[in-house]
């Protein structure tokens, strides 16, 4: 009887979960967190069919605003009431992504053809027509159907396992659009302002590494989120791609600090080439997935969020370089959160910003042009066509920036029709809004142009000390906003102040720690410092000699997370991120950066080198290593990944000859594809191994291990049964690679991509511990 009194829009167990409510309130990307963490490949099927998917105020509002073409309203509402199809994106870098695609199309999808479950023909997944290279697919298969036949169960296991290892991402189709329109290149400095949970961030990282032969692209991604806990989910997502060019920071996006970099010995302001501004929103475009919206929808959410959205977009525009591109997006259909924010930003910019025409950039994508006229409605249904009509009592809730510009010429010059609104019934997706802005000149409130090609940002030091909450309850009117902006000071003065502050401080060379508590209250976990290895540090020469590192190896980019005691892990960042870290320790709260490249052996002093290679950073490190490389065959890789400690004699004669004279210790195991055998694995594999007294082993996390086996055509479930002790033991030994959200800052990040924190059997070196 009690169940009847629960909200009909969610299952009983969700009733008292405030974290879910917060996530649901924050919009599409945020909603996908609950999908990934809790429901996986589950849909809404079978749960609460009695839910009434109706909201008269919602229908009245959007019919009045005419966001849907005439004659399509019924299809629009019908699509909103249908469950959202599951969409997946193949992640990772080019050659590996192509192998996964090949495996999907030629093995798993083929098995679905002509397959019937309960008399119904199974619908084979289809590629998204507008996503490049067939790397994104959608399917109406529910979890219930996936489990009904052995063939589908294999496909289901594939999806689950590859999602866990980060090779496939469950990402809503419309969420993939903003990174594509950002048009990022490997040399671009990119800021992702509201990044958690990170599916868009991973797309950006992939764009940086478009050329896998370049271990350190010139560009980088700084991924920010206001929520400290969600920053660790962001770390977890980013770690899967093992890039030295990603940094996760924790700030309020509307007052994200201006960063400095060293350019030829002088401090200069960092301006970004690309900025992704995927702001918190009311999320009414997510009704197909977030059923709560049907019951809770009101215009009040949009009215409350508009001010925050405008502040975030303004802050992004300030930090964009001249000629740079910023993408503003929401999963809301409401013009108050969409066109109104863009129009207000364009009006304030006085020609510094303009909307780009991206109509031809994603062929195959269907979209509606942005609105040029709209009205504002209160939560009780009262309409206002312009600011002058709003009574004084409503001025705190409704602001002039929410209305379209009055001047027809000014409105026409904005080209608001260049905005893109994605409607659910056009391509069976969620609802979405995206606008692409290009910066033509400095923002008008700067006193003078900076020395960098870019614009000067407004001073926000007083605001930075207390990050605001994610909801932005009070909208800031133009008068208050402009008062803040007009106090802008030139970059030269800011640079001088920064240098004076740092010169007077007691900052240690090569150390980037958390900001002092007086400048910023630290929420959540207090992070360990980032300490770069000094040039004269005695730990490096033995490493350099043991692995015969190339003279071009950028040793200055090596860092640890401790200022005292033995250095247990060595990490690596790109030189550009090193520059950012060293010049911003006073103003930036860094959650995580760098990939692990070496780990100390527990008995390292017994060997010529105390540090062994870490799988997480091997693809970055490999180009600089000139010794201890063993070329292995595909059969060798299978043996090494399915057996715990195979004797050297079990491996091919070519591999045995290379390994027999090597001293004990860490080795690189390299598989090179044979282009003359197109049916075999066609992407290179680099694994970390350990050459023992008479055996060889690999140090590879469980999910990565299963991924490689699957790519080689081995049925993983069968392998587990056959090899029992080998793969199962390995699974137990490496059970921790994906749990990075609970422990200390660095451990959380490490566990996301490597087994080191939890593994004894798999990841401790033979010779350092007693082998089985």
Give the residue ranges of the annotated binding site for S-adenosyl-L-methionine: 194-200, 225, 252, 278
Determine the Cα–Cα distance for residues 90 and 159; give it in Å rounded to an integer.
11
C-alpha angle 18-20-23 in degrees, rounded to nearest 5? 110
Determine the Cα–Cα distance for residues 134 and 125; give it in Å rounded to an integer.
11
C-alpha angle 755-30-222 in degrees, rounded to nearest 5? 65
Determine the Cα–Cα distance for residues 423 and 429; give it in Å rounded to an integer.
7
Using DSSP's 3-state secondary structure scheme, residue 187 falls into: coil
DSSP category for residue 590: E
Torsion angles phi and psi, residue 495, rounded to 5: -60, -45
Pick left, alpha or beta for residue 139 (phi over 0 → left; psi -120 to 50 → alpha; otherwise beta): beta
Q: Among candidates 599, 630, 631, which has minimal Cα distance to 614?
A: 599
Using DSSP's 3-state secondary structure scheme, residue 597 falls into: strand
Burial 587-601 (b: 16+ CB within 10 A, else e): bbbbbbbbbbbbbbb
Determine the Cα–Cα distance for residues 697 and 667; give it in Å rounded to an integer.
10
| C-alpha distances in Å from residue 178, one per residue of 128, 129, 131, 433 | 15, 16, 12, 9
Determine the Cα–Cα distance for residues 375 and 404; give it in Å rounded to an integer.
8
* Structure token pair of residue 494: 């800011």
| C-alpha distances in Å from residue 497, one per residue of 490, 508, 511 | 11, 19, 21
Identify whether the C-beta of residue 240 lies closer than 8 Å to the C-beta of residue 752. yes
Could you write out the DSSP letters of every residue in 210-268? SSTT-SS-S-EEEEE-S-HHHHHHHHHHHHTT--TTEEEE---GGGPPPPEEEETTEEE
Number of neighbouring beta carbons within 10 Å of residue 545? 12
**Distance, CA of 388 to chain centre:** 43
Determine the Cα–Cα distance for residues 494 and 456; give it in Å rounded to an integer.
10
Identify whether the C-beta of residue 342 lies closer than 8 Å to the C-beta of residue 416. yes
What are the helix (H) ranges across 602-759? 618-621, 634-642, 653-660, 702-711, 716-723, 725-733, 745-753
Residue with tokens 């917060």: 22
Strands 136-139 and 86-90: antiparallel
Half-sphere exposure of 239 (CA within 13 A, CB side): 34
Cis peptide before 752 (omega within 30 of 0): no
C-alpha angle 525-531-533 in degrees, rounded to nearest 5? 155
N-terminal to C-terminal alpha carbon distance within the chain: 58
C-alpha angle 137-422-52 in degrees, rounded to nearest 5? 90
Burial class (CB in 10 A: 0-12, 13-18, 19+), 490: middle
Half-sphere exposure of 291 (CA within 13 A, CB side): 20
Determine the Cα–Cα distance for residues 596 and 609; give it in Å rounded to an integer.
17
Residue 451: partners with Cβ closer than 8 Å, 6 or more residues away:
268, 491, 492
Q: Which sequence positions are flagged as catalytic? A: 331
Bridge partners of 261? 268
């Amino acid at each position: 009887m009690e169940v009847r009194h629960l909200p009909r829009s969610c299952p009983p167990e969700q009733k008292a979960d405030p974290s879910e409510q917060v996530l649901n309130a924050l919009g599409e990307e945020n909603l996908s967190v609950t999908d990934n963490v809790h429901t996986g490949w589950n849909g809404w099927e079978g749960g609460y069919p009695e839910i009434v998917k109706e909201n008269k105020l919602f229908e009245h509002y959007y019919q009045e605003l005419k966001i849907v073409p005439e004659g399509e309203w019924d299809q629009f509402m019908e699509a909103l009431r249908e469950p959202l199809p599951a969409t997946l994106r193949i992640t990772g870098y080019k050659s590996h992504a192509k192998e996964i695609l090949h495996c999907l199309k030629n093995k798993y999808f083929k098995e679905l053809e002509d397959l019937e479950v309960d008399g119904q023909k199974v619908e084979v997944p289809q590629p998204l027509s507008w996503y490049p290279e067939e790397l994104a697919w959608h399917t109406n298969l529910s979890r219930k159907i996936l489990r009904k036949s052995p063939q589908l169960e294999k496909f289901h296991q594939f999806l689950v396992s590859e999602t866990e290892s980060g090779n496939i991402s469950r990402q809503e189709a419309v969420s993939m659009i903003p990174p594509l329109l950002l048009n990022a290149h490997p040399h671009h400095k990119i800021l992702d302002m509201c990044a958690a949970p990170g599916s868009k961030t991973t797309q950006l990282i992939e764009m940086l590494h478009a050329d896998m032969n370049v271990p350190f692209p010139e560009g980088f991604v700084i991924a920010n989120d206001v929520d400290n806990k969600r920053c660790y989910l962001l770390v977890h997502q980013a770690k899967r791609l093992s890039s030295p060019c990603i940094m996760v920071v924790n700030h309020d996006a509307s007052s994200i600090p201006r960063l400095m970099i060293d350019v030829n010995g002088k401090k200069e302001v960092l301006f970004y080439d690309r900025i992704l501004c995927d702001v918190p929103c009311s999320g009414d475009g997510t009704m197909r997935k977030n059923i709560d919206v049907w019951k809770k929808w009101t215009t009040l959410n949009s009215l409350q969020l508009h001010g925050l959205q405008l502040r975030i977009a303004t802050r992004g525009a300030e930090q964009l370089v001249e000629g740079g591109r910023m993408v503003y997006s929401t999963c809301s259909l409401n013009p108050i959160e969409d066109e109104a924010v863009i129009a207000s930003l364009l009006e304030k910019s006085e020609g510094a910003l303009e909307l780009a025409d991206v109509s031809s950039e994603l062929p195959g994508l269907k979209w509606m042009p942005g609105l040029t006229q709209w009205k504002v409605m209160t939560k009780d249904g009262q309409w206002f066509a312009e600011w002058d009509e709003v009574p004084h009592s409503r001025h705190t809730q409704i602001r002039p920036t929410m209305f379209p510009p009055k001047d027809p010429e000014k409105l026409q010059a904005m080209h608001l029709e260049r905005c893109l609104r994605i409607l659910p019934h056009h391509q069976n997706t969620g609802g979405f809004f995206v606008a692409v802005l290009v910066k033509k000149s400095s923002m008008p409130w700067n006193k003078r142009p900076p020395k960098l090609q870019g614009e000067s940002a407004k001073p926000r030091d007083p605001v930075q000390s207390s990050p605001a909450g994610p909801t932005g309850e009070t909208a800031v009117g133009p008068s208050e906003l402009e008062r803040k902006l007009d106090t802008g000071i030139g970059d030269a003065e800011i640079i001088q102040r920064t240098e004076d502050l740092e010169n007077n401080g007691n900052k240690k060379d090569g150390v980037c720690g958390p900001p002092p508590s007086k400048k910023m209250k630290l929420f959540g976990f207090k992070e360990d410092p980032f300490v770069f290895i000094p040039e004269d540090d005695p730990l490096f020469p033995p490493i350099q000699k043991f692995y015969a590192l190339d003279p071009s190896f950028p040793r200055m980019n090596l860092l640890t997370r401790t200022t005292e005691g033995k250095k247990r892990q060595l990490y690596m960042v790109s030189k550009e991120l090193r520059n950012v870290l060293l010049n911003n320790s006073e103003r930036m709260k860094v959650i995580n950066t760098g990939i692990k490249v070496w780990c100390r052996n527990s008995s390292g002093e017994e060997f010529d080198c105390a540090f062994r290679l870490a799988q997480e950073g091997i693809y970055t490190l490999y180009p600089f290593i000139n010794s201890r490389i063993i070329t292995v065959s595909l059969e060798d890789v299978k043996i090494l990944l399915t057996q715990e400690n195979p004797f050297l004699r079990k491996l091919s004669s070519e591999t045995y000859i290379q390994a027999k004279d090597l001293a004990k210790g860490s080795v690189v195991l390299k598989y090179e594809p044979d282009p003359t055998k197109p049916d075999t694995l066609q992407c290179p594999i680099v694994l970390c191994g350990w050459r023992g007294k008479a055996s060889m082993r690999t140090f590879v996390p469980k999910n990565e291990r299963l991924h490689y086996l699957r790519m080689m055509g081995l049925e993983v479930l069968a392998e587990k049964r056959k090899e029992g002790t080998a793969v199962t033991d390995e699974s137990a030994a490496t059970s921790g690679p994906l749990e990075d959200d609970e422990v200390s800052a660095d451990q959380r990040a490490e566990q996301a991509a490597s087994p080191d924190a939890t593994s004894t059997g798999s990841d401790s070196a033979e010779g350092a511990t007693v082998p089985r």
